[in-house]
Amino acid sequence: MSITGLSPAAIALNRFGLGAKPSEAPPTDARRWLTAQFDRFDARPAVFVALPDAGAMVKSYREQQQAMRQAARLAPTADTVPTKPAKTAEQMAVRQDFAQDVQALYRQAVQARTQSALETQAPFIERMVHFWSNHFCVSADNPQTSAFVGAFERDAIRPHVLGRFEDMLLAVEQHPAMLIYLNQIQSIGPDSLAARRAAARSPGKVRGLNENLGREVMELHTLGVRSGYTQADVTEFARALTGWSVGAQGPQDDGNADDFAFRPNLHEPGPRTILGKTYDQAGVEQARAVLIDFARSPATATHVATKLARHFAGDMPPPALVARLTATFTKSRGDLPSLYRTLIESAEGWAPTPLKFKTPWEWTVSALRGLGREQVGQLQMAGVQSQLGQPLWKPGSPAGWDDTAASWAAPDALLRRVEFAQRLVAPIGDTIDARVLGPKLIPASFSPATAEQVSRAESPGSALALLLISPDFLRR
């Protein structure tokens, strides 16, 4: 039996928000409940502010490494052949300590994101933070990216979620998490000062471009794949981006590891031609000008509109909604609240049947909120999300997590949710009546079939677990 006739309140709470809370009355004016959140959003929740300083952690690690490399070079060795020395026990220990510190920081950042999702007064805007964080994703696959991943969402995404697309884009591409993740900090202009000096010192060694960030900016962050750019455009943009780097990279560098730094010595000199337009700006301004043009391109408007429509109006985004969002993006010059208003005002976003299968993250957060949990507490969300198949901030690819049911509605993934639901309700099962809770979480539209199964469960805990894994609750 399919679920029909979702109420506007149920849609606002679950499809647009992060899931209903039993303590909150359902909104009487669903659209106004959403727009009112624009003024209630907290860009810097205390839990995020309290995260340890990733930049200091990374900087201290880099300094320790440099000191040890220096010491190794100065130490006399019996072997006169200058081969690459094996890592000393001390170096290994420093690296291991750093990896452990980073893991602890990553886990704390995951807890902070969850806590913020539980306590927010603006769950729709909080959902948009999660959306943009996935659109501009970094994947915490190595220690240095992992260290910055929480700071990335806090400092590059959250401040701009109610701002303009191009400001978020610039903040993202200048954040150390992105510059490290997509190898930008290693990229060197082949004709730059640094490359020419290096060639004079050691002629055989190739130092040059890495086009990873350039390509993914065009393909994933802005224009979208197959929007008409060529390999030559990618390479030219990669040249324009040379010099974009982070602070505290070398012994003479007294900057901060969490700051953007432009390094003129690495920058490829000369004008660049990208998508037929010539950019003759000097230094950091060159790639910045390209990024702003990308942000204002019609291809970017369509790309972003399609992803937004898919997130709210179904895996096959309705073309009319995509067209309206594209028009809003262009007309408002990428003003994000204007896009959110177009979504809220759309008919497509309020279709009364469930349009989306919740991702593991969406499902877990809605379950915690639905059970009335105010504090994430001792629940280790990083581990939970790994077990459910969506380790937070670790999609393993710069494309981010896929936003369609085909990626999440799978046999084993479903079984994991059942397992986790049972674990979650075990300590609280007999304190909550699932028969009462169901209609609160899905106001005025809780399906009779699920209600019947829940009422027939063998125990209160079992009833609660069934509610969380019911077809009604798996979808939004």
Under the binding rule (CB under 8 A), the answer on residue 474 touching other proteins is yes
Tell which residue, 241, 240, 259, has the closest CA to residue 249: 259
Site string for other proteins, 2-41 (x = CB under 8 A): x---------------------------------------
Near other proteins by CB under 8 A: residue from 188, 217, 241, 441: 188
Site string for other proteins, 225-264 (x = CB under 8 A): xx----x--x------------------------------
Find the shortest distance in angstroms from Cβ 163 to other proteins. Answer: 28
Near other proteins by CB under 8 A: residue from 52, 264, 439, 471: 471
| CB closer to other proteins out of 103 and 387 | 387
Under the binding rule (CB under 8 A), the answer on residue 211 touching other proteins is yes
Number of other residues whose CB lies within 10 A of the CB of residue 23: 9
Find the shortest distance in angstroms from Cβ 14 to other proteins. Answer: 17
Cα 232 → chain centroid: 29
| CB closer to other proteins out of 55 and 461 | 461
Under the binding rule (CB under 8 A), the answer on residue 200 touching other proteins is no
Cβ atoms of 6 and 352 within 8 Å: the answer is yes
Residue 233 and residue 239: Cα distance in Å, rounded?
A: 10
Number of other residues whose CB lies within 10 A of the CB of residue 397: 13
Cβ atoms of 10 and 445 within 8 Å: the answer is yes
The amino acid sitting at 445 is S
Near other proteins by CB under 8 A: residue from 50, 81, 406, 436: 406
Near other proteins by CB under 8 A: residue from 408, 429, 434, 445: 408
Find the shortest distance in angstroms from Cβ 193 to other proteins. Answer: 15
Under the binding rule (CB under 8 A), the answer on residue 219 touching other proteins is yes
Residue 305 and residue 208: Cα distance in Å, rounded?
A: 36
Near other proteins by CB under 8 A: residue from 137, 209, 248, 274: 209
Find the shortest distance in angstroms from Cβ 127 to other proteins. Answer: 22
Using the contact rule CB under 8 A, the part of the chain among 94-102, 118-126, 204-212, 290-298 near other proteins is 204-212
Residue 121 and residue 374: Cα distance in Å, rounded?
A: 12
Under the binding rule (CB under 8 A), the answer on residue 187 touching other proteins is yes
| CB closer to other proteins out of 23 and 231 | 231
Under the binding rule (CB under 8 A), the answer on residue 397 touching other proteins is yes
58 three-state secondary structure = helix
Encoded tokens for 454? 């829940």
12 three-state secondary structure = helix
Near other proteins by CB under 8 A: residue from 1, 74, 75, 200: 1
Helical H runs in 75-229?
Answer: 89-119, 123-135, 143-152, 165-173, 176-181, 193-201, 212-216
- Residue numbers 83-142 binding other proteins by CB under 8 A: 141
Under the binding rule (CB under 8 A), the answer on residue 306 touching other proteins is no
Near other proteins by CB under 8 A: residue from 413, 428, 435, 460: 413
Cα 164 → chain centroid: 17
Encoded tokens for 19? 């899931």
Q: What angle do CA 349, 416, 101 make, to 5 degrees?
A: 95
Give the residue carrying structure tokens 């913020």: 116
Residue 311 and residue 299: Cα distance in Å, rounded?
A: 19
Cβ atoms of 190 and 199 within 8 Å: the answer is no
Near other proteins by CB under 8 A: residue from 252, 378, 412, 436: 412
Under the binding rule (CB under 8 A), the answer on residue 422 touching other proteins is yes
| CB closer to other proteins out of 320 and 418 | 418
Site string for other proteins, 134-173 (x = CB under 8 A): -------x--------------------------------
Q: Which helix (H) or strand (E) holds 278?
A: strand 277-279
DSSP state of 404: S
Q: At what angle do helices 336-345 and 298-313 cross, to 10 degrees?
A: 40
| CB closer to other proteins out of 168 and 424 | 424
Tell which residue, 448, 446, 342, has the closest CA to residue 10: 446
Binding residues vs other proteins (CB under 8 A): 1-2, 141, 183, 186-188, 190, 195, 204-212, 215, 219, 225-226, 231, 234, 357, 387-389, 396-397, 399, 405-416, 418-420, 422-423, 449-450, 453, 456-458, 462, 465-466, 469-471, 474
